[in-house]
Structure 1
């Protein structure tokens, strides 16, 4: 049965989508991988497919959640890498949950909709990678409730430092109330600029305060990685350089999960 891994933290611009996308791609070189875009911005969809999110209207994770049927909405990128896409209408998920789902299923837990949707296809994959929105809402809670492990992202800023603490608290709450098997795989420090003294101070602070949780690998800023959103993975002449920072992290991740 596939390992479900969520990438998250409730702050935008913290490297969630790039990290989730790169890890899904690298894992797919040796494993069967499903990427799940749970952010209505659809950035993971664009990153991995290099298509406009509206190309997938009516065939996204929102429809899969409403039907509790994943297989019908899986799109092939390569033989080993598939995706369930997202677009703007995913922003209506919470409204659907509280206006329709709870009325139709008063005894079922709406935080488990994603888990129940993915259960039928978990055996088809070695890894399921979930990208979450930059907010602590129903999508993120569903992702954590469906996951075996979670990676908390930290980009070196005061705002992300504050968000990290709240995200860890949310994970603990999910462990207590919904998913006792959820494991914090670790904190991934990303987009670090070695030239800035404040970056060094913050990444050291995270390592001290969350002893044993921070991955040893630190992802430093790299122009080729930043251009992945433009160049994609399939026909990218600088792909090797773009994904190189994540190889050591992936080894750590596999050891932890």
Structure 2
């Protein structure tokens, strides 16, 4: 059992990146062993999956795992099949550590720290899901270099449309220079407001520009999904409503990932 690594990203906040990462991790864990990796110093995926404040994980996060280049001592068990490597505020110091204390021996070493770290636990899981930060920096480069598949998140806004092209360009740059086997699995589009004509136009524009790279599934804002950070995944009487639209997307994703 060697995990397939799937990351979710875009350098734009508010694009349902963390919610999607969390729900996909939860749904996959119904049938598979899953490790979710929070690579955003805001720690939102950590709070979403555990219901705990991120400060409770200080000293036991992905930052320390990467510094040790060994993830085995930093895994938190959410459920039997769903595990997490948490993040908290100090992850923001990763770049400082990377260019001061870390001693690179090869040109790509700084880009492959996460890949080497996850390799120490990869055989324990079927899937590893990475929630990337909303920025094009060292954490994102490491996430892309560690990934087998990348899902680009798109929310129907002009700023996100501008960000999408730059994110995909970064993906292809990492593929060319660092990780030739990485694949952009697709673009997951989301509507901010299905009643707005500009939202619908941008959803169509992305499809026109990127064609089959887009998933057929289009997310809509869902109050039950939005409340997951409060209600959690377990013993939640509206969980089916919260995750229902993600099931179709996951079927598409699995078809692309499993071939």
TM-score, length basis structure 1 = 0.98
Regions of 4+ moved over 3 Å: 105-108
Contact 2:148 2:182 in 1 (8 A): yes
- In structure 1, runs of 5+ residues without a counterpart are none
Deviation at 1:162, TM superposition (A): 0.3
Question: What CA deviation, in whole Å up to 9, does each residue of 1:90-118 have, x standing for no partner?
Answer: 0000000000102xx43361100000001
SS in 1 for 2:102: helix
Q: State the match for 2:155 in structure 1.
A: 155
**CA distance in structure 1 between the partners assigned to 2:190 and 2:80 by the alignment:** 29
Contact 1:192 1:218 in 2 (8 A): no
- After TM superposition, the structure 1 = structure 2 runs for residues 28-177 of structure 1, keeping only pairs within 5 Å, are 28-102=29-103, 105-107=104-106, 109-177=109-177
CA-based RMSD: 0.9
Unaligned 5+ residue runs, structure 2?
none
Is the alpha carbon distance of 1:191 and 1:74 closer, same or farther for their aligned partners in structure 2, counting shifts above 3 Å?
A: farther
Q: CA deviation at 1:160?
A: 0.2
**Deviation string for 1:162-183 (max 9, x for gaps)?**
0000000000101100011010
**What is the CA deviation profile of residues 65-102 of structure 1, one whole-angstrom value per residue up to 9, with x for unaligned ones?**
00011010000000000000000000000000000102
CA deviation after TM superposition for structure 1 residue 235, in Å: 2.3
Question: Cα distance, 1:191 vs. partner?
Answer: 4.1
Aligned to 2:19: 18
Matched ranges for 1:187-202 at <5 A: 187-202=187-202
Matched residue pairs, number? 255
TM-score where L is the length of structure 2: 0.97
